[in-house]
Structure 1
Amino acid sequence: MPRLSNGLLRHAFTINPLLPPLLRTCRTLPSAHNELRWLRQHVDARLETKFGRKKDVPAPLRQRCIVNLVKKRARGVPLQYILGSQPFGDLDILCRKGVLIPRQATEEYTYRLSSILLSTPSLRTDPKQIRILDLCTGTGCIPLLLLSLLSPTLKTTVTGIDISPTALALARLNTTHNSPPLSSAHARFASGDVLASGAALLDEAHRARGDEGWYGDERFDVVTANPPYISRLGFNRDTERSVRNFEPRLALVPEEDRIGRIDKGRLEDIFYGRIVEKAEGVGARILVMEVAGTEQAGRVARIVRGRKGWGKIEIWRDFPDGVVGEEGEGRIGGDEGIEGRGVVGEKGELVEDIVFRGVGEGRSVVCWRAVGEPASESRGDI
């Protein structure tokens, strides 16, 4: 990471003494400005709730609270943990320590997926309703945004699975926090180990409460998954300090002690074969899996190609519809184009003619069941 110039830090200090510590984390002056504004707004909202009126808030107390939050942010604490939430589509997703913070790229492909589901009745077993299963659900942001986007048109039910009790509690809280438009009657979250085979997807606690049947006998039209997909080296070398120090490693890096009982392969890829099996087992007609980048997207596409019953495969980039985002707001396309074809072979060879969509890094692998291919009748893979 390049060092900040003393001139930039001095300039920031002349604008506001609180900007330099934020600048060391944010890296750019516009970002530091934005974060300071959000921190002030957060403090003002909390103090006005406590004191009733803005004019009754003691100025020294307000300043002290702002300085304390700036110090936390300067230490690298993620802004979303400090503010307590992250906008995700039209939802306000609560964020807590121990649960991965939703990313913009995840929001982008969730929107694109919702458009496809609305415009493609063949992806639904029942034309008037749709059932969605989200694996490694975390905050529940993916299934809850899909529920929000689809439910005005279709009867929609979403189910999220996660191994973390902290994540499950937060996902349930996010359902009620965003109600309306969300309804807990159409969203449910359960504990389960995605790497487990058979009925062990749900842990013993849920089976003891009689919850096993709803999963074991149920079919889903759509499976989404944002599993741990970063290698240990990538975690230590490529992630930001705030990610390494404050976000849950369990949600980012597969546990090494589990690779011995999973098919051999790269540690960062071990979830994907299991996810594909589970998508087949529940009869999913479309499967969306988030990945770390283009290279991993190619490996995951080959995993799917190695199994029967899957037809079209696409790799969606960070901005799958071609909209670049904040600093390039409204710009369409780019050097890569909105649609292209990519080399996904391990050594650079063209393995399959896979469509790449959008701008940026490969961010999700999207797989459709082959036309006329029946859903798996085997429950053993689930």
Structure 2
Amino acid sequence: MDTRENVPGVERKVWDLIRELSHKLKDITSNPVLETVLLATKVLGVRKEDIISKDIVVSPEVENSIVKLVERRASGYPLHYILGEKEFMGLPFFVEEGVFIPRPETEELVEIALDLINRYGVMMVADVGTGSGAIGVSVAKFSEVIVFATDVSEKAVEVSLKNAKRHGVLDRFVVKHGRFLEPFKEDYGKIEMILSNPPYVKKNDRLPRDVLFEPPEALFAGEDGLDFYRAFFEKYSTEGKIVLMEIGEYQVEGLKKIVPQASFLKDTSGKYRFLYINRRFS
């Protein structure tokens, strides 16, 4: 029997290594093989399609590097922090520790926003709590709007600028450090649409291990998860504006008391996901 693949110091086929290592991730993800493939692509500098279609052989040094990344992921560290990016709206976005990782559900918010922008000819948009810039940069990329973005994290401001540059919208994506829309107080009257995926997790909610590595200020919002909305709508008038924000599935009744003028939209899975106000074009 040929046992060369298990001999230290001998080159191995990458698929043999992936099959061997993927079991380490079975308790941390529902896609252990895919995630192991992605970690291997990070080390090898190839596409996942190349790993699937080509008979790639790895040296002991490369194998060791892949093993280290798999073990880091197995500890619960987020996959996309290791990879350094996350796809959103078909675009690659830089992400790193200290910046919220964009979720697929938020793509629906962007799609709704783009439809409203096109329908009503919106030109000035705000993105509150921009994080990686996923919402604001995507909206700028797929329309002609100017985006005013804010975040309480200096790291998020830095990363969102990198993403705006990466996607060629740096001239229409203006981001500043600060809470809510305070950095743009002078321009508030010009803003036609306010977008946000704010923190809305309850203080004591249990979250998956990898999520706990993300910035808590982007996740938690008090005892009932509604602190952001309570503070924002107390401070800012929505007169003459469109507002579209992501919400938690079971927060509608609490939000009706805070924002009685809002309506609530379901996502494609049938869950309430968005708070919507249109006091500009209704």
Do they superpose with TM above 0.5? yes
Alpha-carbon distance change, 278 to 160 in structure 1, aligned in 2, over 3 angstroms: farther
- Residue 115 of structure 1: CA displacement? 1.6
**8 Å Cα contact 2:192/2:280 also seen in 1:** no
User: Identity of aligned pairs, percent?
Assistant: 27
* Structure 1 letter corresponding to 2:209: R
**8 Å Cα contact 1:109/1:316 also seen in 2:** no
Alpha-carbon distance change, 14 to 60 in structure 1, aligned in 2, over 3 angstroms: closer
**8 Å Cα contact 1:131/1:221 also seen in 2:** yes
Residue 18 (1) aligns with residue 7 (2): no
Superposed CA RMSD in Å reads 2.7
**8 Å Cα contact 1:136/1:227 also seen in 2:** yes
Q: Give the TM-score normalised by the residue count of structure 1.
A: 0.62
Instruction: Determine the C-alpha separation between the residues in 2 that align with 1:23 and 1:223.
Output: 40
Instruction: Determine the C-alpha separation between the residues in 1 that align with 2:165 and 2:277.
Output: 31
Residue 272 (1) aligns with residue 248 (2): no
Alpha-carbon distance change, 87 to 278 in structure 1, aligned in 2, over 3 angstroms: farther
Please, which runs of 5 or more residues in structure 1 have no aligned partner? 1-12, 47-56, 125-129, 203-213, 257-265, 320-358, 373-382
Instruction: Determine the C-alpha separation between the residues in 2 that align with 1:115 and 1:143.
Output: 15
**8 Å Cα contact 1:222/1:284 also seen in 2:** no
- Larger displacement relative to structure 2 (268-277 or 13-22): 13-22
Q: Give the TM-score normalised by the residue count of structure 2.
A: 0.83
Please, which runs of 5 or more residues in structure 2 have no aligned partner? 1-15, 47-56
2:63 match: 63
Structure 2 counterpart of 1:251, from 212, 218, 222: 218
Structure 2 counterpart of 1:137, from 130, 150, 157: 130
Structure 2 counterpart of 1:172, from 161, 171, 181: 161
2:255 match: 300
Residue 216 (1) aligns with residue 173 (2): no
**8 Å Cα contact 2:109/2:246 also seen in 1:** no
Instruction: Determine the C-alpha separation between the residues in 2 that align with 1:314 and 1:185.
Output: 33
The 3-state SS of whatever aligns with 1:232 is coil
The 3-state SS of whatever aligns with 2:93 is strand
**8 Å Cα contact 1:223/1:284 also seen in 2:** no
Instruction: Determine the C-alpha separation between the residues in 2 that align with 1:363 and 1:216.
Output: 31
Alpha-carbon distance change, 165 to 371 in structure 1, aligned in 2, over 3 angstroms: closer
The 3-state SS of whatever aligns with 1:280 is coil
Instruction: Determine the C-alpha separation between the residues in 2 that align with 1:14 and 1:170.
Output: 33
* Structure 2 letter corresponding to 1:242: D
The 3-state SS of whatever aligns with 1:268 is coil
- Residue 284 of structure 1: CA displacement? 5.0
- Residue 362 of structure 1: CA displacement? 1.8
Instruction: Determine the C-alpha separation between the residues in 1 that align with 2:193 and 2:97.
Output: 29
The 3-state SS of whatever aligns with 2:201 is coil
- Residue 361 of structure 1: CA displacement? 2.7
**8 Å Cα contact 2:194/2:242 also seen in 1:** yes
1:78 match: 78
Q: How many residues align?
A: 258
